[in-house]
Structure 1
């Protein structure tokens, strides 16, 4: 059927439902994305929220291309570059996080960067929205007042065991502050179970103030004062001045080409540059001739991922603090040089300071009836476990994504954003959008989005097929594979010198949860692809 009213995909069906209602009520894609994002903060409160940050692409109907809006958290003015050098105790393999003594960068007040989501979503709505701000936030306020039902996805996150030594388990994370423990645990200190309802009236009150007063209350008013006092009292690096001076950044997104398609993704410190670079390397190979489940296909993707992640570790950081040679990294000559290197069988040598990431993120992709497109990724990192008494929302923990050693592109500095795997992406052909996508999933966002694009553009898969196919992830010496790959593929990769880690999980959310809408430019038909690794939220207006 042809598109007549637009569509939304996101991991949370409850949030999609409210976004669809906004589209049906006369809102455009930006209104719907903002409404969905605030609802995601209510029903999936450790993945995202007003204490977090994000990045988005908006392609207004009829415009020649998309615009980018990014609202990353920034290190507080009290940080110093070498403050944690003596606290480093190791590094995790999967997320490549720096593990610090006492988890100082991962949980608690010292892990928090400036909350940015309210500023970012308000900016997007002010510039591109159609409905009133209060009207767009009303569903989230109402849902917060009612309480949210614990879904299988939320319950799974709460009960998840650490993948390896150096990770914090969720129970400890949610005990990082007395207020978080009070809200998310029962009086007997047991966790809420799937199907039970969690009440958080403080969150509802904060959302109502934001709906009625906008970001002024959050960055300058009553909420700002409560945040600043609590953060100061508990040794956080964020100050009242950091909140008051926070600003959203806008940019022309990065652009590249792949087999006749134009691709747009976010600028550094986001992950878009790495997605586009991997595709440029792959463009020199006949990917379509390979079986997507074969060891040859997996090896080719893994080597291209290694090359691009090596460059990311070596060069990519906040461009307001470091010179990121984006044009050089995305050049076709650079891709050719990497292919020569890989084809010669030479190893990829990674710098010691590579950029880590985490799992607590979400995404929403929206296309409206007029053709406006939004791809929005927002996050709490993995969440700090900190809630200011009376406010109800959790803060991000994005300091764990900064490098505790000075002199790397991703090192710590006051006001500096950290690298991120978030990479909202839009694809066009002959000036017309044909796909929009993004994902939660840490650095696996990059490889998940990459593989969904390869599945559509090289293998001709539908949106559902593209996001459902088995995935690999490789950002260092090791390659991880989902459980649906054959054992022979795992052994073939090991024979090529790769450390292969074979997940026992068939649809493993650690490999990202891609949210894709493919668009037929001739008919306007929308093909929806919610990743089955999430809870499969999708709907048409």
Structure 2
């Protein structure tokens, strides 16, 4: 068992006016500035979101997506904003298989879905905010125009794809290789084409109306019906090198943008130890968090102790079962009947819990809710039970990411972006492909009782070439679809991909208590689960729960191209005790020990006992909370 440290890397912030926490200090400062000028939590979240698109371009971008979950104190309403774009009208499985593909590529233009982030932020601002677009967009425009200091991870990300930019994606080289070289960490970097795009959107909005809501609608039209959609449609029709080593044109058109709208939804909830945990519907992976709680409800976790082998083993094995159900059952509920009531029921999880034994499972075991037989996509069946599965698990991920503390290559296990070639000198277009980016996170609480969490992502600088007239690139969220026919996550026109983005909100007695989240792809609902369990069962404050040594499994199929899985793999930070690591290995886990501060980028805000609290992740030396 690991002792709870008396001292933390930072204090848990406390105050009564407002709290902002995010994955970048400049974005948190922008959100706090909005609160200081009289904006509410939703205004501040929008300002943070737009700022992150500029200062973390390897983590999110203007053509990405955002799920938001919030509680509006005035209306007494908990809500979800779905800012997840849909597959293009031409995106059928046959459109890909006719090209000889068995997976949606992870880079280039074929994986582009409708950019949902802009519409999602505008919907949040219109429905729940109070300020005008200029008040929340000016921070992003300022940093894009005048520059901001590059964090080391951005420089490393650019370096990892610099040859690809020079040889194939020259429009990206024009933005991210100023003067032909990789910009150094700490150097001042600007993206004036992006600044001009947002300035034009704002100018068109203000020219169209003097009314706040009228301006927001005019800005939405400029993006989805106007010049932005037109430029996206033209660029998507060009031939671009992607991860396959071939040039392909995209399927996205301006008409796809014109027909899409962000929307408000009701969250999915589960009651756990006095808290009601609210998540998105299963177009995101959010309900997998709730399934893990439903499985763990049958254990005395407090008695196991924080960071113990019993605790890590039990939580990991429960996660394997929940993620197996995600693979078999989750998808856009507008297209498929996801049996959520059964998946979260006491009876179902009581039976599933019996599968958790004393040793690590090496199988992918989806259940049969309401007697329905599960089916899995082809990529999910290959690593499990096959002759080479053990060798694959022990070989390591082969999917290098970055150590967020140093900017150096690490492993797929971080959930961070990867180069796709492990830092070696690329020789062919296929070897030069950029890997996935990562994600950002935002939490805000204000003095009026409003609380919001959002997890923007996509449109990474590694995704696809920059559209030169706009200053940003398209996203690749479509890689999360499967091409196997007839499954909940099978690609189809107008369908939302089963995204990994998963902000969290906890209520106590119907009032917002805690908002939290993290970047990290498939790891998001593992890292945040550990955080919540640390807080609920072991009494850790927000900063203690974030700082505590983290762990996660890479057992399940990745949601990202090339959809690899590593059965039995368990990643733990080296601050985990040697005795615990040894016991986990004895139980059959393929334990990979990662650097001491490398797993997770959680941030959180809370309301309790009439006060507001916030904390942010020290890993990576960039996330910060602010408040008073």
**Aligned 8 A contact 2:201 2:223 in 1:** yes
Structure 1 residue 148, shift from structure 2 partner: 2.4
Does residue 185 of structure 1 match 2:180? Answer: no
**Aligned 8 A contact 2:21 2:614 in 1:** no
Equivalent in 490, 493, 502 of residue 414 of structure 1 = 493
Structure 1 residue 396, shift from structure 2 partner: 1.0
Distance 1:444 1:533 in 2: 16
Q: 1:87 to 1:170 in 2, by over 3 A?
A: farther
Match of 1:70?
Answer: 82
Bigger mean CA offset, 175-184 vs 434-443: 175-184
SS state at 1:300 partner: helix
Distance 2:610 2:24 in 1: 28
Match of 1:128?
Answer: 128
The C-alpha deviation readout for 1:189-218, integer Å capped at 9, x for no partner, is: x21111112222110011112333211111
Q: 1:159 to 1:446 in 2, by over 3 A?
A: farther
Distance 1:241 1:59 in 2: 33
Distance 1:295 1:410 in 2: 34
Match of 1:491?
Answer: 582
SS state at 1:9 partner: strand
Q: 1:501 to 1:159 in 2, by over 3 A?
A: farther
The C-alpha deviation readout for 1:237-290, integer Å capped at 9, x for no partner, is: 101110100111221101101112111111111121000110111111111112
Match of 2:16?
Answer: 4
Q: How does 1:425-436 map to 2 (within 5 A)?
A: 425-436=504-515
Match of 1:164?
Answer: none
Does residue 529 of structure 1 match 2:616? Answer: yes
Distance 1:384 1:492 in 2: 40
Match of 1:515?
Answer: 603
The C-alpha deviation readout for 1:125-161, integer Å capped at 9, x for no partner, is: 010111111221112112211022212342344456x
Match of 2:92?
Answer: 80
Match of 1:194?
Answer: 185
Structure 1 residue 533, shift from structure 2 partner: 4.1
The C-alpha deviation readout for 1:328-356, integer Å capped at 9, x for no partner, is: 11112222111122248794534454499
The C-alpha deviation readout for 1:414-468, integer Å capped at 9, x for no partner, is: 1221112211111122222221101111111111111111111111111111111
How many residues are paired up?
A: 516
SS state at 2:513 partner: strand
Match of 2:389?
Answer: none
SS state at 2:585 partner: helix
Q: 1:480 to 1:10 in 2, by over 3 A?
A: same
Q: 1:285 to 1:463 in 2, by over 3 A?
A: same
Distance 1:349 1:183 in 2: 43
Q: With structure 2 as the length reference, what TM-score do the two structures score?
A: 0.78
SS state at 1:130 partner: coil
Q: With structure 1 as the length reference, what TM-score do the two structures score?
A: 0.90
RMSD: 2.4
**Aligned 8 A contact 2:268 2:281 in 1:** yes
Does residue 250 of structure 1 match 2:300? Answer: no
Q: 1:369 to 1:176 in 2, by over 3 A?
A: farther
Match of 1:208?
Answer: 199
Structure 1 residue 62, shift from structure 2 partner: 4.4
Equivalent in 352, 356, 364 of residue 349 of structure 1 = 364
Q: How does 1:99-248 map to 2 (within 5 A)?
A: 105-159=105-159, 172=164, 177-188=169-180, 190-212=181-203, 213=205, 214-234=219-239, 235-248=249-262
**Aligned 8 A contact 2:359 2:588 in 1:** no
Structure 1 residue 492, shift from structure 2 partner: 2.3
Distance 1:217 1:106 in 2: 28
**Aligned 8 A contact 1:452 1:466 in 2:** yes
Match of 1:385?
Answer: 464
Q: 1:176 to 1:242 in 2, by over 3 A?
A: farther
Structure 1 residue 170, shift from structure 2 partner: 7.2
**Aligned 8 A contact 1:107 1:173 in 2:** no
Q: How does 1:51-62 map to 2 (within 5 A)?
A: 51-62=63-74
Does residue 29 of structure 1 match 2:41? Answer: yes
SS state at 1:58 partner: strand
Does residue 396 of structure 1 match 2:408? Answer: no
Structure 1 residue 362, shift from structure 2 partner: 0.6
The C-alpha deviation readout for 1:298-321, integer Å capped at 9, x for no partner, is: 101110100100111110011122
The C-alpha deviation readout for 1:6-61, integer Å capped at 9, x for no partner, is: 01000110111111111000101111000011111111112112111010012012
**Aligned 8 A contact 1:451 1:471 in 2:** yes
The C-alpha deviation readout for 1:105-126, integer Å capped at 9, x for no partner, is: 1221222111111111001101
Match of 2:404?
Answer: none
SS state at 1:361 partner: coil
Does residue 329 of structure 1 match 2:417? Answer: no
Structure 1 residue 326, shift from structure 2 partner: 1.0
SS state at 2:538 partner: coil
Distance 2:90 2:157 in 1: 32
Distance 2:158 2:169 in 1: 16
Distance 2:618 2:483 in 1: 34
Which consecutive unaligned segments of at least 5 residues does structure 1 have?
90-97, 161-168
Distance 2:288 2:168 in 1: 33
**Aligned 8 A contact 2:106 2:479 in 1:** yes
Match of 2:516?
Answer: 437
SS state at 1:125 partner: helix
SS state at 2:472 partner: coil
